[in-house]
Structures are given as C-alpha cells and as structure tokens.
Structure 1
Amino acid sequence: MYQKYYRQFLQAAQKAAAPGCDLPVLHMACHSHHFWPDVTLSAVNDYWQDAAQMADSKWDKVFGDKIPAFQRGIANALKLPDPGQIALAPNTHELVYRLLSAFDLKAPLRILTTDGEFYSFARQLLRLEELPNVEVVRIPTQPFDTLAQRFERELQSGNYQLAYASQVFFDSGVAFPELLALAERKPEGTEMVIDGYHAFFARPTDLSAIADKVFYTAGSYKYLGAGEGMCFMSIPRGCQLRPLNTGWFAEMAELENRADGVGFGDNWLRFAGATMDYSPLYKALAVLDLYAGDGVTVDSIHNYVQQNQQRFLTAMDAAQHPLLNRDNLIAHDLENGHGHFFTFRCGSAENAEKLQAELRTKNVLCDRRQQLLRLGFALYHPQDETFARLFT
C-alpha cells in the first residue's frame, strides 16, 4: 500500500535486475540506504529555486521556516518537549565530536560504551585512546539479555564523563534492552549519548522522560528515507558545555552585536557548525510532510515492517535453509527487542559473499559485513511479499 510513495526508486531499481530473472527487484539493504519517496525530487528542485530566486536571502527562509519545521517534526516523532534543542549537521560524527570537544582533554577522560558501536564512533574512540589521559571501557553486547544490567552496573560504579550506546546495534539489529530506562538513572555527572540512527523513524521512541538527561543522535539517511546530509542531535535543556569545535553558526543570534570572547546560546546553536548544503533539509521536510498528510506514523511504519518480518520468518522456518535459519539468526524478538533488519551468521566471510551473490541472481539486494549477512525491511516492500524466493 505504501509503494505509491516510491515509484521512481522502484522503477530505477529494475535496471539492476539480474539477467534471466523475471522477478521484480527486492531491495533488502534498506537498513543502510533507504529508498527515497518521490516527493524528494521536487524538494531538491525547490531548494534550487529558492537559491536562484532569493540568493543570500534564502538563509532567512532556511533558518526562519525550514529548520524550525524540521525540528518540530523530529520533536514530534521522538516526544521531545523543546524543538529548539535539536541541533543540525551534515552527519552525526560532526555533532558527537563537537560534544567530545567540550571535555577538557588535558584532564582524565573516561568513556563507557559497548563493543557494538558503529564504525564512526568506534574509530574515533580508537584515535582518542592514543592520548594518555583517555580511557575507554567497552561492555560486550552479548549476551544481550544481561547487557542492560552489565552496562548500568559499570556506569554507576565508575567515574565516567561520557557514556555512549546505540539504541539498535548496526551489526545485529538487536535493540539495547531497557536503554531509555537505564539512561533515566544515569549519574548526574555523566553525559550520555544515545545513537539512535538505526532506530529513528523505525522503532517508536519516547524521549520525554530523558530529554534533559541525554543527547540523542540520528539522521535522515536510513529509515526516514530522505538521503544523506541531514542529521541531528537533541541537547538537554540547561546544557552549559562549551565545545572547542565550534562554528560561526553558533554565533548566529549575535552576529550584529558580537561581543568579545566566545559566547554560546542556550538553544541548538550551542552545537552548531558552519555553512552546509540544505537541500537534504528540504528532502527530509518533504518526507515528514508526506507522512503527516497521509497519517503515516512511526507506529504504523513499525507495525507494517513487523508484519513483513513475520512473513519472512514463516517462510524461513518452512524452508530449512542451510544458512538462513533460526540457529544463524542473531535475534528475532520482534515484540520487544529488534530493529528493522535481520542479521545472519554465515560462518565465514566467504559463505556470506556466496549467499549474497546467490540472492542477487534472484533479484534480492542485500549487504554483508565479514561473516554477517543483513536483510532489511521497508515500507516499499509489497504487503503480499512472501520472501519465499530467498530460500529456494
């Protein structure tokens, strides 16, 4: 029923059809690159038209109209009380590093995280650990059923300046159990970041109880389906951190009356950077407006995807595939603890590569990481898709 939003991407996908296969292309790498709804094409054109017609005065529209509208859409999706506390940047790494730069790197810096974080943050931590004053403690994600207790025990017992954890882990698709409740109990002196990229606009998320306790990061590239280049981080109200990595946008409210020294505002501009391309903002807004106009919510998206996932599991159980089976599926708790993709252990990178190639001959597009094969689910998958072709 939702395929009507994605006609242009779905038609373009057919150009990647495997020779000799008459089945339509089934894009299951959507936990990474989500197809964009058709409305994003006119949104990019609108940005160009605004730039052509308004030149420099387009910034009045961007900052006075478009950014506040996007912030309201994000706040509504996440139950955040103050849209003005949502900072924008081209990627989450820029925002997280700006937060890291607010700590005194001459003083001891202890960071608590997991061993399942996405490459961007994981790589940055490895580099930071080369400094003599930085210590990183990584809690193993597995076994998942005890992760919350193990992480919170260390968080409460250690003197950490920063804690960082994913809401849904990028490699497994497993949701961090009880993460929001855990964050509500974090020590007062510890800043905490929740990486929500693999959960935002996929799993229903209510941040109202912890809006002033955590930083929450995500973006439009994955489940919002608006492409790369538009990310955000929610900022606790009353935050007084002073990022060392700061751009001229952070002085946006004071440009006409600039004082000596480096001042910071009490809203999202505290973590603002500098000039960026705002066509991704127009795309993201177009998607938010499309869904709002048609009554599509995160809850309805999640329910639709879970129905697809359940049909997949039914077909999988009936097929007894040598690799795509319950024993190799890392987790399948759809009710409580899973994102919108499944991850299968294939035993070796060679097995994963071979399986990916076999699925490609059936017009199923997916991706892999070493021995892990990942299969994602999206709104643009037909309501009557059985997924049986994956197992034959």
Structure 2
Amino acid sequence: MQEFDGLAKSLQPHYSQFNVANRLLFTGHSHQAWPDAAFEGMQEYMRVVAEQVGNKWNFGFEKTEIMRDYLRNYYDDPHGRYCREQNTHVLLVSWLSSLDLKNKPKIITTTGEFHSMYRQLRRLEEEGLEIVYLPHENDEKLLETVRQNLDERTAAVMLSRVYFRTSEINTRISEISDAAKQAEVPILIDDYHGTNVVPLSLQEKNMEHVYLLVGGYKYMQWGEGNCFLRFPENCEFRPVITGWFSAFKQLDHTRDNQPVSFDDGDQKFATATYDPISQFRSAAVTQFFQKQGLTPEVLRNQYSSQLKYLRELFDEQNFEGSEIEHANTRPVEESGGFLALRSENARKLQAMLLEKNIFTDARDDILRIGPAPYTTSEQCEKVIDALFECIKQKN
C-alpha cells in the first residue's frame, strides 16, 4: 500500500456514477471522473429552471461566485478578477482583441503550447503578425530568450506554466512574468495543467499583474463549460470581441453614442448566452472538494506521490528494445499531474489499452497516463502491467 491509497480509497465511494473503484480511468489529465455531487448539482439546476424560468440567471451567477472564491483561494489572490466563459479559446480571443496589434504586431510564445493557443497564433501569423516561437525545454534559456525578444513592438507574452504534452513545470514562470512587467508587456499564462495540481501564490510570487487561463475540464472535475480568465483588478483593457454578458447590468440603459462600456467586476472578457447547468454542476463539485479537505497542498501531495509510483513501476518493467521512454525526466517536484512516455507507437498503444477498457491519452508520439485523487496504487500497477503486455504484444 502506498501513502496515497488512504485518500484515494476514501474518495472512491463518492464517485459511484463513474464506478472509479472498478475501472481504470487514466485520462485524469484530460477528463477526470465527476463525483456524485456533480449529478446532484445538475438535478438542482432542473428544479431551479422549472421554478424560476428566466430568472434562473441570478441563481447561476451565485454558483459562479462559489467557483471564483475557490480560485481566489487556490491562487492566494483575494483581489483578482475571474471572468467565466464556456472555454479558454473564447477567453483567449477576447483577450487578444484587447491588444494594440496594429502598432505592436509581435507576440512571444513557446513551442510547447496547447492546440487552441498555437492554432490561433499560427492563423494570426498568416495574417501578418510576428509570432516568436521560443524553445521551451530549458527554463533558464527560455527566460533569457524572452528577455532578449521583449521590445517596443511586443504586444504580449503568451505561454504555459505546465506543458500539456510532457507535464513539465515552467520553473521560471515568475521571473518571466517579472521581465514582461518591467517591459510593460502584458503576459497571459495558460494554467490548464497547473490548477489543482501545482499550487501557486500570486501574491508571494509577485504575479498579481498576470492574466491566467484556468480550465475546469481536467483536474477541477468541473466538466465542460467552466473556464476562467484571471485578470488584475486594475485592468484597463477594452476587448474588441465583446458580448452582452460583459455589460449584463446595463441591459436597461438607454442606448447612446458613447464608447462601449463594461460592467465593473469579473465579466469584462465575457461573450453572451450559455448553458448555466455547468455552473450548478461545478459549484457542487467545488463544495465537495472543500468538504473532503482537498486543499492545494493535499492535492499536490496526492499527484506527486502517484506520479512517483507510476514512474517506479514503469522503470521496473521497461526493457531494452521496448521503444518507449520517459518524455519528462525532470524531478517529480518539477512535474505536473501525469506520466508522459515517448514512443512512435503512442497512439497504437493507447488504442490497445482502450481495447482492454483502460482509458489513457496520446498526443503525437507521447502516451499520457493521468491518475486522479481517487486512483489507488493497485490501479497504477494494473495500468503499467497492461501497458507492457501491449508493448510485448506489439513487438
């Protein structure tokens, strides 16, 4: 028995709908199981809609505040603003539309960004923007090259805190954000793989000026439809891409020829109508996490212990000629929440594992094996055993 088994086994009964105790669900980095509380939240939404009809929105907004408070606590960020949207891409586009790209057509990013950011920047590059893609593998070198590329033509720095393919942590993210601040360049940090896995105090790291993308689909167990853009309370941006939910309080105002205005508060980068069932579901999950004592420190210890054990199991069984290796060789302390393995057969191995009803994930040549807080050591052993059965079968 490993140290993480106690918490995992205590959590498993609360995930009966997903039957996590009897299934090998290792897409924890992509889609974790939802606790039963999530289903109770959705049932609550149906009751509210039936009773309140069009007045449901205020109830949904109250649920969003539960999530905002959770994020402010997680990031030690009492004064930060958190704009809710359906996905991070909507928030990304709204934020990009705030930049002075005509006079500052240069954006600094890395070679390790997630598809949504990478695809959008590539398309903007086709339209004439200068996108600088810096190698991300060496944190010290990345910090140096970001500093070298910051100039008066730079509109923004956009990069990840934890890289989505390998789970490597950008250990110089605070220094990079400080360099951007000194150059008076806004910085957007994708933290989809950091939230609930790698604690971050924005106050301690002097990062209260940053913009942060947070997604609920993975480690938050919030499911689809609940992503956030964290922005400073003194933000003066006026996004060009804007919807009526960014001025919800002004619906009854008489239209005039004055500049478009935005509500005070958290929704500056919001667009428009969405399905509020996700808020009820996610608020219920948030309260479940709090009730279970799943603090940032507890979650970090759980993921680190699980990752360490998965690495040990893999190393014990790996053999010469297996054609699979670690894609992330950094210490556990510099790694996020999943095991990243490099193999030219990554996608084939994922498919073979799925035939055994084992859920993993693959990105290009990297097989990703992601535990969750409810994953036990026995389940870790089973997935690694099955992986090497597939490897030997393939060979």
Distance apart, 1:313 and its partner CA: 1.8
* Residue type of the alignment partner of 2:125: E
Q: Report the TM-score, using the length of structure 2 for normalisation.
A: 0.88
Map of 2:284 onto structure 1: 286
- Tell me if structure 2 keeps the 8 A contact 1:148–1:176: no
State yes or no: 1:124 paired with 2:128: no
CA separation in 2, counterparts of 1:213 and 1:172? 27
Tell me: CA distance 1:332–1:258, structure 2 relative to 1, closer, same or farther (3 Å): farther
SS in structure 1 of the partner of residue 158 of structure 2: strand
Tell me: CA distance 1:386–1:244, structure 2 relative to 1, closer, same or farther (3 Å): closer
- Tell me if structure 1 keeps the 8 A contact 2:140–2:172: no
Question: Where does the alignment leave 5 or more consecutive residues of structure 2 unmatched?
Answer: 1-8, 390-395
Distance apart, 1:301 and its partner CA: 1.4
State yes or no: 1:199 paired with 2:208: no
* Residue type of the alignment partner of 1:177: T
Map of 2:392 onto structure 1: none
CA separation in 1, counterparts of 2:285 and 2:331? 26
Alpha-carbon RMSD: 2.2
Query: Deviation string for 1:238-263 (max 9, x for gaps)?
Result: 11111110111122222233462311
* Residue type of the alignment partner of 2:172: E
State yes or no: 1:74 paired with 2:62: no
CA separation in 2, counterparts of 1:195 and 1:171? 13
Q: 1:377 aligns with which of 352, 371, 390?
A: 371
Map of 1:21 onto structure 2: none
Map of 2:3 onto structure 1: none
- Tell me if structure 2 keeps the 8 A contact 1:169–1:175: yes
Query: Deviation string for 1:115-164 (max 9, x for gaps)?
Result: 111111111111111223x1110101124553333334433x56411100
Q: Report the TM-score, using the length of structure 1 for normalisation.
A: 0.88
Q: 2:50 aligns with which of 52, 70, 82?
A: 52
Map of 1:112 onto structure 2: 108
- Tell me if structure 2 keeps the 8 A contact 1:215–1:234: yes
- Tell me if structure 2 keeps the 8 A contact 1:239–1:266: no
Query: Deviation string for 1:81-107 (max 9, x for gaps)?
Result: 225x11010001111100111124443
SS in structure 2 of the partner of residue 176 of structure 1: coil
State yes or no: 1:5 paired with 2:2: no
Map of 2:311 onto structure 1: 313
* Residue type of the alignment partner of 2:303: V
Map of 1:329 onto structure 2: 326
Distance apart, 1:46 and its partner CA: 0.8
State yes or no: 1:239 paired with 2:248: no
CA separation in 1, counterparts of 2:272 and 2:132? 32
Map of 2:26 onto structure 1: 28
**Identity, % of aligned pairs?**
30
Tell me: CA distance 1:6–1:145, structure 2 relative to 1, closer, same or farther (3 Å): farther
Question: Where does the alignment leave 5 or more consecutive residues of structure 1 unmatched?
Answer: 15-23
- Tell me if structure 1 keeps the 8 A contact 2:87–2:227: yes
State yes or no: 1:366 paired with 2:360: yes
- Tell me if structure 2 keeps the 8 A contact 1:81–1:211: no
CA separation in 2, counterparts of 1:323 and 1:59? 58
Query: Deviation string for 1:285-304 (max 9, x for gaps)?
Result: 11110111121112211211
Tell me: CA distance 1:334–1:323, structure 2 relative to 1, closer, same or farther (3 Å): farther
Tell me: CA distance 1:337–1:154, structure 2 relative to 1, closer, same or farther (3 Å): farther
SS in structure 1 of the partner of residue 346 of structure 2: helix
Query: Between Structure 1 and Structure 2, how many residues are aligned?
Result: 373
CA separation in 2, counterparts of 1:316 and 1:202? 22
- Tell me if structure 2 keeps the 8 A contact 1:343–1:372: yes
